Structure 1
Amino acid sequence: MRHRSVAELMTPTVVTVQRATPFKEIARLLKEFDITAVPVVDGAGRPLGVVSEADLLRRRSGNGATTAEQLMTSPAITACPEWSVVRAARVMQRHQVKRLPVIGVDGRVIGVLSRSDLIQLFLRHDHAIQVEILEDVLSRTLGISPSAITVDVDDGLVTLSGTVPRPELLPIVVRLCQSVDGVVDVDNRLTVAESA
């Protein structure tokens, strides 16, 4: 069982700006590329901060900033390509940001992961979720026969019914199912086998 990585979901083409990029050029880039923010990078392509639509709107309200360096939110909150999307989502939530520049081993920006990229996970087909739970979670990871548990998936809601061989497996099965990409919630109707 494996979570998808940031590298699998990020947008690999990145629009960046330099410290001295003027306000109007940043606004033009956001509109032209239909994006909501741009990383500000140094001469080597390493992130210094991010300028978002909100930063531009703050400037309009009279803070006098005219360049990317003056407008940006700094330091840039970044992600690594090998991170799981779960880790990236937690970082976004903790720092209350909508996107993360993705940094390669050399420290340069190689992509951007946005909240809209993460939403793709919840568009995963129910059948793919069901197969992963039956084959990866139950069979391979826990050694539970898929015939012992019925897994129904409807719009990402997983309903588990049937029996587990030992009581301590109940919370483990639920937790592992909740961690499968695309699962919105788990309705646990499992019981413990009488012979347990």
Structure 2
Amino acid sequence: MYATVKDVMTTKVMSVRGDAPFKDVAEALITHTVSALPVVDDEGHVIGIVSEEDLLHKEGFKERYYREDYHPPLRVRLLHRLGQKGGDGRVKARGDTAADLMTAPAITVQQHASVVSAIRLMIEHGVKRLPVVDADGSLQGIVSRHDLLKVFVRGDADIAREVEENILGHSLWAAPNTATATVAHGVVTLSGHMHRREDAQLAVRITQRVNGVVDVIDNLEWDVDDVPARTRHRR
């Protein structure tokens, strides 16, 4: 019913070992056209993230590995300047390996976590990608903001069919049940009649978890009001 990180993540992900030299890290970032790489130990466990921002603490990085007229994004330049004022920036400026340069611990997400939880992690920590790990912390892939948006790129007709067949048409609802769904731009409108108010509320909650659903408009009516007053959230 709902997408997990495993459904949308990229499984072919470049990583570096903690003992990887500065030059190898820089060349990996450029060769693979990425701005950050997971750092792993000998067993493949994620121990940190090394980014272009981390490498910029090294004077001459951009001149050596990019053109001399290369200008990092404003956010990168500001973070670089702020970092140089603190101990962490000075330590990274002296670093020669991925372990010296990386940001640790890495913000990771497990492969069976929901897409929603991954989005929340990104927002909370201000990151654009998350290494995906298994229960042991071993690298399984990487998920980006772009990957997470894939769940919303789904046709309205496909969403409507799933809601109608797999949710509203399910035998668990008490009769009579005349509920229907229409979808426009990912917004589902539930209309019609269900026997119990609790059933109607549950149908709304389940529909909200369907892949591609942006929002749910609840226009359902009911015959029996079986929801305790203290838990009611609509008329």
Given the two structures, how large is their TM-score scaled by the length of structure 2? 0.70
Q: Verify: 1:121 aligned to 2:167, yes or no.
A: no
For residue 115 of structure 2, the aligned residue among 82, 85, 90 is 85
Checking the alignment, whether the CA contact within 8 Å between 2:160 and 2:183 is kept in structure 1 is yes
Residue equivalent to 1:162: 192
Residue equivalent to 1:191: 221
Q: Verify: 1:152 aligned to 2:182, yes or no.
A: yes
Partner deviation per Cα, 1:103-147 (whole Å, 9 max, x = no partner): 235542121112211100010121221122112222237536897
Aligned counterparts, 1:1-196, within 5 A: 2-57=1-56, 60-61=80-81, 62=84, 63=89, 64-66=93-95, 67-104=97-134, 107-140=137-170, 142-143=172-173, 148-193=178-223
Checking the alignment, whether the CA contact within 8 Å between 1:139 and 1:146 is kept in structure 2 is no
Partner deviation per Cα, 1:155-180 (whole Å, 9 max, x = no partner): 21112221221222333222211111
Deviates more, 1:74-83 or 1:157-166: 74-83
For 2:213 and 2:161, the matched residues in 1 are separated by 12
Partner deviation per Cα, 1:60-111 (whole Å, 9 max, x = no partner): 5332254322332211222222333233333333433322212235542121
In terms of Rg, which structure is larger? 2
Distance 1:166 1:22, change over 3 A: same
Given the two structures, how large is their TM-score scaled by the length of structure 1? 0.82
Alignment gaps of 5+ in structure 1 = none
The number of equivalent residue pairs is 195
Same amino acid, percent of matched pairs? 42
Checking the alignment, whether the CA contact within 8 Å between 2:173 and 2:199 is kept in structure 1 is no
For 1:151 and 1:144, the matched residues in 2 are separated by 18
Tell me how large the CA RMSD over aligned residues is: 2.8
